[in-house]
Structure 1
């Protein structure tokens, strides 16, 4: 479905619909900017906005005529699911109102929708002694209206956070941040129907449909329901699978758009759902994201004598959440704006698996009592890390920790350009103990280990900056004695493969230093050499940095005209690679052909050799568009590229 907001035009403008005998004529069109796009059978409206209906064969018109707008199974004025109002001389933009004009046998009825009306399917009824149904329409939030609780100032921001159907998601680690292009597709056919169905199948609706429909006027409530319904509990969309076995489904890293996920009931972001309903939304990635299992704001790592982690707390390489823009009348003034929600919640909130919306400012200020789930989100970005070793006899010793490991390089896509914007400053103050205590609002004796994390032996590990997947590399450890006396040490140095959520795999490198004596403040270097043939066997997923993998577009980018994308990809490994194109995605483009050399979909590429591929497609709509191309192989994953194109009429 095309965008159902008046793109590029005034959002107080009127939309004209023609009625004959109180029935909507089929094929109704709406002009959006300079492009006329046909809607489906759903009539779409936004809050604060007026629309006009034209009726014939009306018997009479008088001031006693009332207009009703109803929603839900049990419409009620007390529940705000039924609005009844009389005809007036003028339209009032702040409340339900209607005016009427007559010309010959045609009556034009103009209706204005209240700025805090509930969203969802509504019916418009003309009451002239007996109720006559005029129309059924879907009411959405309106980020163009200043009176709406989701109002967003700035046309560029509305274009990025409401209208744009594609974007970028960041992942990796702070020193090696990579980008994943994503198509949200919130205006694609059937997506709005799915959004409404998700709301109607929520436990809230099932337990009290009238109350649920009434609460839908509040974007805070709607966002919270969406967070719960995307998770795998309570009839949600997403099905969790942490086993690594995806034989009966689709591997999560294969998905590159939200539409396929919704249609296929797989993984997606609540961003698609939020934007489809008119709520401004963006994706945020938190690197070094903590999962605090007991709510004490400390990530406690307990190891046994074999260095196996025996604690429930974990730190993910990165974690993705969404931020919705809205007011918060339930909180103190100043906590409106961006609200963080987690589409994959790891804990229960009020008995339900959901997370948020949590005001971003409340996260930064450490307002742990504010709604919703501030302590959990605060720990994601600002928890301290303390490490312990537990001996076989039960004794526990603190080994060390960090005050800076959690919450780094929090990232989102910049407005209007394909660049990373660092929004860490929105969520936390610069790292310091004074800042931590000033915002935590907790007695200091609750966190006895957070202030002084110095240890007897300081170890700093670093990797060569030019390390590349497919080559051998070295890791260096620098040891320093922080005590006032000479100490004898025996250090074991090894490495394990790790997934993005912190799950450890097999040991892929082992080195043991001989016993050494270090005087006070004395240091000692050490190194561990990694061979590709060893570490690659245990690797989970690697992101290949293919800077040369950019499509070369051949042809004139015009609507209806075929284009060809030439791609060249180098095998970075010292061994052969089976390569194929996994998926090609583009919004409102028609894919024609995909082929590799000699007409084969799968090609064997020798060590350090180049593979070529072509993709032919046809743009269907003008404007800026992205094409996403995803490669797959028998040994490497997450090889993707994208290109922006401006398509002309």
Structure 2
């Protein structure tokens, strides 16, 4: 009888496997592979080599606390002479003396997560089991049979592998690019993402069912949407929107997901304070990319929050444009969510591709603060019955806005805006820092036949028969326009532009004012006002009325969002009609400059000089720079200045970098002080590979 096989060691060959599975950026200390794709392990036997026909080998794999074959979380895999597609299988790749190389293949619909695996070796009637170690199995966008497969290689690189990005903020007329370090391959992030799955209430209630459902990106994205906020669970982020952040960190401070996820994990899954929509979205994007689901951050300008599901946003104003307390519906200046790429076999044909997933806690979905995945095509087509939460997102990009303006005598005038909601829907372009406008993915052009068709379909599906009030036939229009140089610390003009397209001269009253505002639409104190009681409009003419915004008035009440909400109300004395225009003005922060000194090369020290010029007419104090960059710097680095920075002078620091990885990297910077807050900057750095 042949001598028993004795396993001396097992080499998981993490470096080679991780490279071929597109996970090498996460390091080579653990085996991280993608489902539907083979990986190999090297087995070293001490007594003798493997003999085909004499030795019987099998691999056991299992995931979760209660693995079972029935749940798909356990598999017994006999070693054969060839791999089997679409199922767990193992085969001999090479046999060289006492070293045996096995190839192991996972099915493209296997549950993701951390797996233990072992070897069973038997010779005759005797058998022995050897623990081989652990591996982490992820979704595989490179595998055509995986439901997250995305065909284009550039898109796979952008939406799965790239660790940095751009998030768009500001206003639809002044779009602001904010850099973000997703850092999905940084140390500890994969462990934090797996811990997030193991902390979710569905796992706590029934771990077997939860782990078995981790084969489905629809299920995973829904869990992540719920767990990135902490409203129902031990989620990652605590949301706050009242500018009271002294017991935590302002949402405007963050420049990446890495520090947030590490804090959450380090402090026993206590929610990190604080987040707002772009922070929730960016962290969810990091988690999904880490798990292998292609994802990207989306910004929707003038995003509606429809609280009563009637596809109408009802705004109540007094005759001076002040919001009234009975108002519940809201229009956010911008709102961020993510899109995740996946097939939707649960919905039948036609709904594969990008799905909206929104982790910002707004409304409950099936009793939990989560939203999506909702097929973008279902939103565009008005298919409100498709899972999940399509009606809510449809309203965010398509709702009509009705303004009810109450006069002093108690009468109410009504004005309708059908074009305000859902504008300039934006995401970062593939392979570039440019903005890509994807509004056409969500809605047909306003006024087109397709837009009318979708509008009518959505009304019927929502159970409402909303009357259409489109456009304005009176011949009078009013718009608000900005000017050059709307920079923080500067005085500048904003204009109400009124067109009288009628054949009659008009005498009107114009109330034109500005209030500091947050991006959610909440307004603060008035910072500029003009009330013209007898404004004359000549027939077939245009009049431009300026309103001066002085830094002395707006600066002290400006929130970290740097927004001023402008509103113009025009009363036509002859017809008693009211015309309304609104616009959000973004007050631009100064630029951050990043100068790189030295030759950017892998594993070679590099110095970045970071500076910002004080644009205010007063000193700024408490100045500090925070820096992140996946592959450039470990974690979040903060540099504080000891002295105030005088007007026109530079705040300046130097930061040491030691690039660990070659290729394009992004250094992301935040600047904070007493008078200038949440100033962002970035610098792309191309790192040359280390010479061999």
> Is this contact kept in 1: 2:26–2:185, CA < 8 A?
no
Q: Which of 408, 423, 432 is 2:447 aligned to?
A: 432
Report SS of the residue matched to 2:347: coil
Q: Deviations over 1:16-66 (max 9, x none)?
A: xxx973764599643637998895664322111223332526998669755
> Is this contact kept in 2: 1:626–1:644, CA < 8 A?
yes
Q: How far apart are residue 606 of structure 1 and its match?
A: 3.4
* RMSD, aligned CA: 3.3
Query: More deviation in 409-418 or 133-142?
Result: 133-142
Q: How far apart are residue 372 of structure 1 and its match?
A: 1.1
Matched with 2:566 is none
Matched with 2:374 is 358
Query: More deviation in 451-460 or 215-224?
Result: 451-460
Matched with 2:137 is 139
| Separation in structure 1 between the aligned mates of residue 330 and residue 459 of structure 2, nearest angstrom | 24
Q: Deviations over 1:256-283 (max 9, x none)?
A: 1111001123344211111111111111
2:426 maps to 1:411: yes
Structure 2: 5+ residue stretches without partners: 265-271, 563-585
Q: How far apart are residue 524 of structure 1 and its match?
A: 5.1
| Separation in structure 1 between the aligned mates of residue 534 and residue 177 of structure 2, nearest angstrom | 44
Matched with 2:87 is 95
**Pairing of 1:45-64 with structure 2 (within 5 A):** 45-53=33-41, 54=43, 56=45
Shift of the 450–205 alpha-carbon distance from structure 1 to 2, 3 Å rule, reads farther
> Is this contact kept in 2: 1:63–1:86, CA < 8 A?
no
Q: Which of 554, 563, 584 is 2:597 aligned to?
A: 554
Matched with 2:248 is 249
Q: How far apart are residue 547 of structure 1 and its match?
A: 7.3
2:547 maps to 1:528: yes
Shift of the 137–301 alpha-carbon distance from structure 1 to 2, 3 Å rule, reads same
| Separation in structure 1 between the aligned mates of residue 243 and residue 359 of structure 2, nearest angstrom | 20
Q: Which of 326, 332, 345 is 2:342 aligned to?
A: 326
**Pairing of 1:83-122 with structure 2 (within 5 A):** 83-100=75-92, 104-122=97-115
| Separation in structure 1 between the aligned mates of residue 71 and residue 472 of structure 2, nearest angstrom | 55
2:77 maps to 1:78: no
> Is this contact kept in 1: 2:23–2:32, CA < 8 A?
no
Q: Deviations over 1:513-539 (max 9, x none)?
A: 124566876765533222221121221
> Is this contact kept in 2: 1:544–1:636, CA < 8 A?
no
**Pairing of 1:510-529 with structure 2 (within 5 A):** 510-516=529-535, 525-529=544-548
Shift of the 520–36 alpha-carbon distance from structure 1 to 2, 3 Å rule, reads closer
> Is this contact kept in 2: 1:297–1:384, CA < 8 A?
yes
Matched with 1:300 is 314
Query: More deviation in 251-260 or 68-77?
Result: 68-77
Matched with 1:193 is 191
Structure 1: 5+ residue stretches without partners: 1-18
Matched with 1:537 is 556
Report SS of the residue matched to 2:209: helix
Q: Deviations over 1:435-493 (max 9, x none)?
A: 33212313477221543556796432222244333222222223456889877643322
| Separation in structure 2 between the aligned mates of residue 103 and residue 614 of structure 1, nearest angstrom | 54
**Pairing of 1:379-528 with structure 2 (within 5 A):** 379-390=395-406, 396-398=412-414, 400-432=415-447, 434-440=449-455, 441-443=457-459, 446-451=465-470, 458-479=477-498, 489-516=508-535, 525-528=544-547
Q: How far apart are residue 102 of structure 1 and its match?
A: 5.3
| Separation in structure 2 between the aligned mates of residue 591 and residue 355 of structure 1, nearest angstrom | 33
> Is this contact kept in 1: 2:236–2:261, CA < 8 A?
yes
> Is this contact kept in 1: 2:590–2:612, CA < 8 A?
no
Shift of the 339–595 alpha-carbon distance from structure 1 to 2, 3 Å rule, reads closer
**TM-score, normalised via structure 1 length:** 0.88
| Separation in structure 1 between the aligned mates of residue 405 and residue 25 of structure 2, nearest angstrom | 64
Q: How far apart are residue 286 of structure 1 and its match?
A: 1.2
Matched with 2:263 is 264
2:146 maps to 1:148: yes
Shift of the 425–595 alpha-carbon distance from structure 1 to 2, 3 Å rule, reads closer
Q: How far apart are residue 132 of structure 1 and its match?
A: 4.9
2:283 maps to 1:283: no
| Separation in structure 2 between the aligned mates of residue 524 and residue 55 of structure 1, nearest angstrom | 86
Matched with 2:583 is none
Shift of the 569–350 alpha-carbon distance from structure 1 to 2, 3 Å rule, reads same
**TM-score, normalised via structure 2 length:** 0.82
Q: How far apart are residue 251 of structure 1 and its match?
A: 1.1
> Is this contact kept in 2: 1:151–1:326, CA < 8 A?
yes
Query: More deviation in 352-361 or 152-161?
Result: 152-161
Q: How far apart are residue 106 of structure 1 and its match?
A: 4.7
Q: Deviations over 1:166-214 (max 9, x none)?
A: 1111110122111111111111111111111111111111122111111
Q: Which of 199, 202, 205 is 1:204 aligned to?
A: 202
Shift of the 20–502 alpha-carbon distance from structure 1 to 2, 3 Å rule, reads farther
Q: Deviations over 1:422-446 (max 9, x none)?
A: 1111122112263332123134772
Matched with 2:234 is 235
Residue correspondences, number: 627
Shift of the 565–132 alpha-carbon distance from structure 1 to 2, 3 Å rule, reads closer
